[in-house]
């Protein structure tokens, strides 16, 4: 479920706890995630030191000594739990789940000296991808479109990736190969703020509309990160802080609510675009 802002929060919590720590052991309980966990995953990670934890779009990048990279994607329901030795109370690293370690769907356990980190994922849409050299890591990133917070994400990039496409702008925003990091919530929110109808075709967008898209995709994601992400269910990060961007939703899950634009008396509509729920105001978004 997490999109760029939520993955950023998870990454920060993870980084704070595991950077410069050595992985003493690895247990894979279930290899059948979106991609099968590599056969030598345990062997390669064991006794390696975590040099850094980064993020690009919705991918968490764990950098280990010896040019080993682990790309972690949380899919729809992936969460991390950090459990300190000899302390019964669990510390949750994740969004969207209870503070306690779930009983079912724990798939991967990383054991450190003073704690262990457990990956839980009921639907198993997430993955752990092992990349064994810098080249394959670079290649992996190359196949992802720029995220709105990337310095290369600019008007020129938007023009060349949007203005010739027949598909609708919402599908473009959700296509990680074109623009990465945006998911269903933020696509809806960005389009409302940009005054763009989600069904509008990419090639119909005018330059001034691309400028709005540029502005609001950055702005919405940044603000969501500042607010600690969005959440519909309970969650805590390691500081016990809650995300609150859900209070700033203007259209997502607001069908039949009044349009937030005070000068408008229309109701927010709910439609489906390529099987994803889409919320918009037909008066404010042209």
Known catalytic residues are 2-3, 58, 276
Q: How far is the CB of 176 from DNA (least distance, A)?
A: 5
* 103-113 burial code (b ≥16 CB/10 A, e <16): eebbbbbbebe
Among 22, 34, 116, 223, binds DNA (CB under 7 A): 34
Nearer of residues 84 and 165 to DNA, judged by Cβ: 165
Provide CB contacts within 8 A for 222, sequence distance 6+: 149
Cα–Cα distance between 127 and 121 in angstroms, integer?
A: 9
- Rounded to a whole number of angstroms, the minimum distance from the CB of residue 43 to DNA is 25
The residue within the footprint of DNA, chosen from 232, 248, 266, 286 (CB under 7 A), is 232
**Residue 90 phi, psi dihedral angles, 5° rounding:** -85, 145
Sole window of 16-24, 48-56, 68-76, 86-94 interacting with DNA (rule: CB under 7 A): 68-76
The stretch near DNA (CB under 7 A) out of 62-70, 82-90, 112-120, 122-130 is 122-130
Q: Which of residues 140-199 bind DNA (CB under 7 A)?
A: 165-168, 171, 174-176, 183-185
Interface with DNA includes 229 (CB under 7 A)? Answer: yes
* Shortest distance in whole angstroms from residue 266 CB to DNA: 20
Residues facing 13 on adjacent strands: none
71-96 core/surface letters (b: 16 or more CB in 10 A; e: else):
bbbbbebbbbbbbeeeeeebbbbbbb
**Angle, in degrees to the nearest 10, between helices 184-194 and 207-226:** 130
Q: How far apart are CA 30 and CA 123, in angstroms?
A: 12
> For residues 69-88, which are near DNA according to CB under 7 A?
73, 75-76
Query: In the structure encoding, which two tokens stand for residue 90, read together?
Result: 């669990």
Count of residues interacting with DNA (CB under 7 A): 41
Nearer Cβ to DNA (53/168): 168
State in angstroms the smallest separation of the CB of 107 from DNA.
11
- Burial state string for 23-44 with b = 16 or more CB within 10 A and e = fewer than 16: beebebeeeebeeebbeebeeb
* 283 near DNA, judged by CB under 7 A: no
Shortest Cβ distance from residue 262 to DNA (Å)?
A: 26
List of residues contacting DNA (CB under 7 A): 1-3, 6, 32, 34, 57-58, 73, 75-76, 95-96, 104-105, 122-125, 165-168, 171, 174-176, 183-185, 202, 229-233, 243, 274-277
């Amino acid at each position: 479920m997490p999109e760029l802002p939520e993955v950023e929060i998870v990454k920060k919590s993870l980084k704070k706890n595991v950077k410069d720590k050595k992985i003493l052991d690895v247990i894979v309980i279930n290899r059948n995630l979106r991609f099968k966990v590599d056969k030598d995953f345990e062997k390669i990670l064991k006794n390696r030191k975590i040099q850094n934890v980064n993020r690009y779009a919705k991918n968490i990048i764990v950098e280990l000594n010896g040019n080993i990279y682990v790309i972690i994607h949380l899919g729809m329901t992936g969460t991390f739990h950090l459990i300190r030795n000899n302390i019964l109370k669990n510390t949750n690293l994740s969004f969207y789940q209870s503070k306690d370690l779930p009983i079912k769907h724990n798939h991967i356990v990383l054991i450190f000296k003073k704690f262990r980190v457990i990956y839980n994922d009921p639907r198993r849409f997430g993955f752990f991808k092992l990349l064994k050299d810098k080249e394959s890591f670079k290649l992996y990133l190359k196949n992802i479109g720029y995220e709105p917070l990337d310095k290369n994400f600019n008007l020129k990039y938007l023009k060349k990736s949007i203005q010739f496409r027949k598909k609708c702008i919402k599908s473009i925003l959700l296509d990680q190969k074109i623009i990465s990091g945006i998911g269903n919530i933020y696509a809806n929110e960005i389009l409302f703020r940009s005054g763009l109808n989600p069904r509008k075709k990419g090639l119909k967008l005018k330059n001034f509309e691309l400028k709005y898209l540029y502005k609001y995709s950055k702005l919405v994601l940044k603000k969501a990160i500042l607010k600690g992400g969005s959440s519909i269910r309970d969650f805590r990060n390691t500081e016990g802080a809650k995300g609150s961007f859900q209070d700033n939703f203007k259209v997502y899950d607001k069908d039949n609510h009044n349009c937030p634009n005070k000068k408008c008396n229309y109701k927010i509509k709910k439609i489906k675009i390529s099987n994803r729920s889409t919320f918009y105001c037909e008066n404010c978004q042209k």
